[in-house]
Amino acid sequence: MFPTHVYIARRAQLKRTLGSGLVLFLGNREVGMNYLANPYPFRQDSTFLYYFGIDRPNLVAVIDIEHDREILFGDDLKIEDIIWMGHQPSLSEQAEAVGVREVLPMRRLLSFLKRTRRQGQLIHFLPPYRAEHVLALKDWLNIAPQKQKASASEALIRAVVAQRSYKSDEEVAEIERAVNLSVEMHMAAMRSARPGHLEAELAGMVEGIALSAGGRPAYPIILTVNGQILHNHYHGNKLEPGQLVLGDFGAETSLHYAGDLTRTFPVSPRFTTRQRDIYQVVLDAQLHALSLLRPGVRYLDVHLAAAHRIAEGLKALGLMQGDTEEAVAHGAHALFFPHGLGHMLGLDVHDMENLGEDRVGYSESQRRSTQFGTAYLRLARELEPGFVLTVEPGIYFIPSLIQQWKRKEHCAAFINYKALDRYRSFGGIRIEDNVLITKTGYRLLGEPLPKSVASIEALRAAS
* Binding positions for ligand GLY, rule: CB under 6 A: 219, 248, 260, 349
Whether the Cβ atoms of residue 342 and residue 390 lie closer than 8 Å to each other:
yes
Shortest distance (Å) from residue 248 CB to ligand GLY: 5
Residues 148, 350, 213, 239, Cα dihedral to 10°: 120
Shortest distance (Å) from residue 323 CB to Mn ion: 31
Q: Measured between alpha carbons, how far is 227 from 204 in angstroms, rounded to an integer?
A: 18
The pair phi, psi for residue 356, each rounded to 5°, is 110, 120
What is the three-class DSSP state of 183?
helix
Residue 70 binds what, of Mn ion, ligand GLY, none (CB under 5 to 8 Å, by partner type)? Answer: none
Minimum CB distance to Mn ion smaller for 134 or for 223: 223
Q: How many Å from the N-terminal Cα to the C-terminal Cα in the chain?
A: 38
Whether the Cβ atoms of residue 91 and residue 76 lie closer than 8 Å to each other:
yes
Choices 198-206, 264-272, 293-301, 382-390 (CB under 5 A): range interacting with Mn ion: 382-390
What is the three-class DSSP state of 338?
coil
Minimum CB distance to ligand GLY smaller for 251 or for 319: 251
Whether the Cβ atoms of residue 267 and residue 248 lie closer than 8 Å to each other:
no
Whether the Cβ atoms of residue 376 and residue 340 lie closer than 8 Å to each other:
yes
Residues in binding contact with Mn ion, number by CB under 5 A: 2
Minimum CB distance to Mn ion smaller for 166 or for 376: 376
Decide if residue 286 touches Mn ion (CB under 5 A): no
Minimum CB distance to ligand GLY smaller for 199 or for 248: 248
Shortest distance (Å) from residue 233 CB to ligand GLY: 11
Shortest distance (Å) from residue 182 CB to ligand GLY: 10
> Which of these, 153, 169, 171, lies nearest to 53 by C-alpha position?
171
Minimum CB distance to Mn ion smaller for 253 or for 390: 390
Which listed residue (45, 260, 351, 457) binds Mn ion by CB under 5 A? 260
Which listed residue (390, 395, 450, 453) binds Mn ion by CB under 5 A? 390
- How many of the other CB atoms lie within 10 Å of CB of 281? 25
Minimum CB distance to Mn ion smaller for 153 or for 182: 182
Residue 219 binds what, of ligand GLY, Mn ion, none (CB under 5 to 8 Å, by partner type)? Answer: ligand GLY
In Å, how far are 26, 37, 83, 432 from 88, measured between CA atoms? 21, 18, 11, 39
> Which of these, 334, 344, 361, 434, lies nearest to 391 by C-alpha position?
434
Residue 44 binds what, of ligand GLY, Mn ion, none (CB under 5 to 8 Å, by partner type)? Answer: none
Q: Measured between alpha carbons, how far is 96 from 102 in angstroms, rounded to an integer?
A: 9
Minimum CB distance to ligand GLY smaller for 133 or for 430: 430
Shortest distance (Å) from residue 440 CB to ligand GLY: 27
Shortest distance (Å) from residue 251 CB to ligand GLY: 12
Chain residues that interact with Mn ion, rule: CB under 5 A: 260, 390
